[in-house]
Amino acid sequence: MSLHTLTVCQLRDKIRTGEVSSREATQSLLDRIATVDGKVKAYNWLNDDDALAQADAAKKDGALAGVPVAIKDVLNVEGQPCTCASKILQGYIAPYDATAVRKLREAGAILVGRTNMDEFAMGSSTENSSWGTTRNPWDLTRIPGGSSGGSAAAVAADEAFAALGSDTGGSIRQPAALCGCVGLKPTYGRVSRYGLVAFASSLDQIGPFTKDVRDAALLLGVISGHDPMDSTSVPRAVPDYVAALERGVKGLRIGLPKEYFIPGMDREVEAAVRTAIRQWESLGAEVVEISLPHTDYAVAVYYLIATAEASANLARFDGVRYGLRVKGDDVIDTYGKTRGAGFGSEVKRRIILGTYALSAGYYDAYYLRAQKVRTLIRRDFEKAFAKCDVIVTPTTPEVAFKAGEKSGDPLKMYLSDIFTISVNLAGICGVSVPCGFAHKLPVGLQIIGKAFDEETVLRTAHAYEQATAWHKERPVL
């Protein structure tokens, strides 16, 4: 067995006992990347020497002692590029560590490289990257999902033991589903956002991609916790997520929202999800039907709030202090030329949408209205959770689509996040786990939990995973 196929927990244990060194594991991973990444294109940046030097210096007693972890190109790692897959940050070197990254370092992780993404995390296919499209390891003609497509594809293709991504409307769960790995979006406030280049500040959250649920629990425990540098991170104790996995699902109430099993959903996807639900029932869980009546508004609300926040968040990329600068006749001209050349079309589209939504005369009708509906969506979940402990849905309505299939139609692309967006709007947590295949492509099962109840979400996922073998399936490359 090659080292690169191990899970984080397996590798960590081997390093701790001295059976394997961090250098050997890192080298094995770099060899795997060298072999397959020409096809998958999961990474934007790698530095073998730097990774091996970190491996040699890694401590042997941390929670992630000596384990290489890949980082989405939207999180600052001191001394490494941080481009957000955008030309406007070409050549930019991060001057500090994101808090989540610092916690990984402190736990002994090796920060092995930067994974590809949709520019500034805006997209659902990783086609909006300035550095080329990442491919789905299960079918290289298809997209890996997005925006954290590089992280998902790297883990699925054994090019990473684990990776960090960010999820604003589904950017962890959707690509995890399409690539057949585990992707967790923690509750808003669970993980510090300090050092995560903001797309939509009230929705963004950092989370892990892993090969199984146990690894997701382990990584979540490492990166969680209150951070004085992020006022929206919550001062709340971090439970032992790994220990919580073993509690089983007997008596657990699983809610199925009727609004999520919609006509037009891929039949094979629905079949895979229904089979999974029966699996839980056989493990002693109880299934209840619930309703999330404002589901239909989620996509519209999301594209007003997220773009409004993005229009301000991305204003700092102006060529004055860092990144790309295209000189113009005066400062206004320089702004225009720099941003014109630096941003891709989807980023420009969203900046324009957000600027419009916030403009005088439109604010009340768009942004303010969207915030009110967001509150209704949050209440939908509060009411639903009175009847159930977790909510289960398909992660996506269909499997990975062909590269180029939706890139000409932004609205169609936006709808691929239809099942994940509400979770961000409500600020709660969700995980996607592999639950079989449809059309020979991975299908993801989404388990949604109450705010700060990642323990229940993870244990539900773990019980399913223990009873099935879908998470062990690997693409042939």
Partner 1 sequence: MEYEAVIGLEVHVQLKTHSKMFCGCATAFGAEPNTLVCPVCLGYPGVLPVMNAEAVRKTILSGLMLGCEIARFSKWDRKNYFYPDMPKNYQISQYDLPLCKGGRVGKFGITRIHLEEDVAKSFHFAETSGVDFNRAGTPLMEIVSEPDMRSPEDAFAYLTALKEVLIGGGVSDCDMEKGQLRCDANVSVRPVGEKKFGEKVEIKNMNSISGVRRALAYEIQRQIAAVKRGETIVQETRRWDDDTSVTSVMRTKEHAHDYRYFPEPDLMPVEVSAAWLAEIRRAVPELPEAKRRRFVAHYGLPEYDAEVLVADASVAAYYEQAAAGSKNPKAISNWVMTELLAKFAENTIAPAQLAELVAAIDAGQISGKQGKEVFAEMFATGKNAAVIIQEKGLAQLSDAGALEGLVDQALAANPKSVADFKAGNAAAINFLKGQVIKLSKGKANPQLAGEILARKLQG
Using CB under 8 A, list all residues that contact partner 1.
75-76, 82, 84, 89, 92, 94-96, 98, 193-198, 200-202, 228-232, 308-309, 311-312, 315-318, 320-322, 331-332, 335, 355, 358-360, 363, 367
Residue 314 CB, shortest distance to partner 1, in Å, is 9
Q: How many degrees, rounded to 5, is the angle at CA 396 between CA 468 and CA 477?
A: 65
Q: Tell me if the bond preceding 147 is cis, omega within 30° of 0.
A: yes
Q: Is 113 helix (H, G, I), strand (E, B) or coil?
A: strand
Residue 110 CB, shortest distance to partner 1, in Å, is 21
Residue 254 CB, shortest distance to partner 1, in Å, is 32
Rounded to 10 degrees, the C-alpha dihedral 253/254/257/263 comes to: -140
Nearer to partner 1, 228 or 284 (CB): 228
Nearer to partner 1, 250 or 316 (CB): 316
Task: Tell me, yes or no, if 72 is annotated catalytic.
Answer: yes
- List, in order, residues 6 or more apart from 375 with CB less than 8 Å away: none
Radius of gyration of the chain (CA): 21
Nearer to partner 1, 83 or 416 (CB): 83
CB 435 within 8 A of CB 392: no
Task: Tell me, yes or no, if 129 is annotated catalytic.
Answer: no
Nearer to partner 1, 170 or 427 (CB): 427
Q: In terms of DSSP bridges, do strands 253-257 and 441-449 run parallel, antiparallel, or are they unpaired? A: unpaired
Nearer to partner 1, 30 or 89 (CB): 89
Residue 315 CB, shortest distance to partner 1, in Å, is 4
Task: Tell me, yes or no, if 148 is annotated catalytic.
Answer: no
By the 10 Å C-beta count (0-12 exposed, 13-18 middle, 19+ buried), 293 is classed as middle
Out of 22, 166, 171, 233, the active site residue is: 171
Out of 72, 211, 406, 450, the active site residue is: 72
Rounded to 10 degrees, the C-alpha dihedral 318/313/199/80 comes to: 50
Residue 155 CB, shortest distance to partner 1, in Å, is 23
- List, in order, residues 6 or more apart from 164 with CB less than 8 Å away: 69, 70, 71, 72, 75, 100, 101, 104, 151, 206, 207, 208, 209, 219, 223
Q: Enumerate the active-site residues.
A: 72, 147, 171
